[in-house]
Amino acid sequence: MKKLLSFILLATITVSASFADLLPMPSEQKASDVKTPLVKPTQDLGHVCRADVEKFCKGVTPRQGNIIRCLKQHHEHLSLSCKAHADEVKELVQKRKARRKNLSKACEADRTKFCKGVTGPLKIEKCLLTHERETDFNSACRDALDQE
């Protein structure tokens, strides 16, 4: 029983950690992202999909996204709750990527002007947010920052 509980805990952590590779770190979340944080749904994935991990991914070494790859390979056979939750997390990730891509395009000039030398998506976004009220700040960038 202890081994099973240890495996479940390890699988949960691994699933969360594996998805975390695809997601920004919690410290990378913008203030508006608090409405739809990615960390909690990702952690919940390990809990929601626990039985599916045990059923389809038994013996899979839990590291470097192996559990996630295993769940993806068995997606059509996953429980409805696991499948729905995995799809929800995937959608949140896609929205985050699209938002960052939009920010990159809309804010290129402002990034160069106000945030030269700043690296990393979160730091750049925070820098832009600190300057968005400047009179010469691009309105398209301001709009992009306001989008979810």
Pick 63 or 135 by higher pLDDT: 135
pLDDT at 146 over 90: no
pLDDT band per the 50, 70, 90 thresholds, residue 42: low
87-102 tens-digit pLDDT: 888 888 788 888 889 9
Q: Is 15 exposed, middle or buried (0-12, 13-18, 19+ CB in 10 A)?
A: buried
- For the ranges 18-22, 114-118, 121-125, the one whose mean pLDDT is highest: 114-118
**43: Cβ–Cβ under 8 A, 6 or more apart, which residues?**
12, 16
Predicted TM-score (pTM) above 0.75: no
**What is the three-class DSSP state of 35?**
helix
- Could you report the per-residue pLDDT of 49-80, keeping only the tens digit for each? 999 999 999 888 877 778 878 888 999 999 99
Beta carbons within 10 angstroms of residue 59's beta carbon = 5
CA-to-CA distance for 72 and 80, rounded, in angstroms?
14
The answer to whether 75 and 26 have CB atoms below 8 angstroms apart is: no
Q: What is the 3-state secondary structure (H, E, C) of 84-133?
A: HHHHHHHHHHHHHHHHHHHHHHHCHHHHHHHCCCCCCHHHHHHHHHHHCC
* End-to-end C-alpha distance for the chain, whole angstroms: 44
Which tokens sit at 75? 């997606």
Q: Containing H/E element for 12?
A: helix 2-20
